[in-house]
Amino acid sequence: MQADQMIELVQSALDDMKAKDIVLLDVTGKSSVTDYMMIASGTSKRHVLSVAQAVIEQVKKAGLQPMGTEGQNAGDWVLVDLGDLVVHVMMPDARSFYDLERLWRFDSDEREQLVSR
């Protein structure tokens, strides 16, 4: 599956689950781990877990197997590694504290895109 198709699939799952403040970061050339990061917020720990689970289920239905997941026990921050795309679903406090958008914006050519609200 192409990266843009995977991004659309994940965005759809996040939108369906009413994730908040969805942002797509293009980290091509900045990270040796992935090309894109999608960051979204949940409204509660249960919501964060449900949103991440929906992403996992959608990509599996499309024939993809996540390379890994982290944080499903706590619910403050769940990471879903899809190879070319890493999805972060976070509680607002954790998102504010770690500020991944700022962390990955270390040059003036940042390509950050607000996907939906």
Q: What is the mean pLDDT of the chain?
A: 89
Under the banding of pLDDT at 50, 70 and 90, the label for residue 75 is: confident
CATH code of residue 27 = 3.30.460.10
Q: Mean of the pLDDT values across residues 64-74?
A: 94
Residue 76: domain span? 3-105
Domain presence at residue 116: no
Q: Which of 117, 80, 86 is nearest to 3 (CA)?
A: 86
Alpha-carbon dihedral sign for residues 62, 3, 27, 34: positive
The model carries a pTM of 0.87
Alpha-carbon gap, residue 14 to 86, rounded angstroms: 13
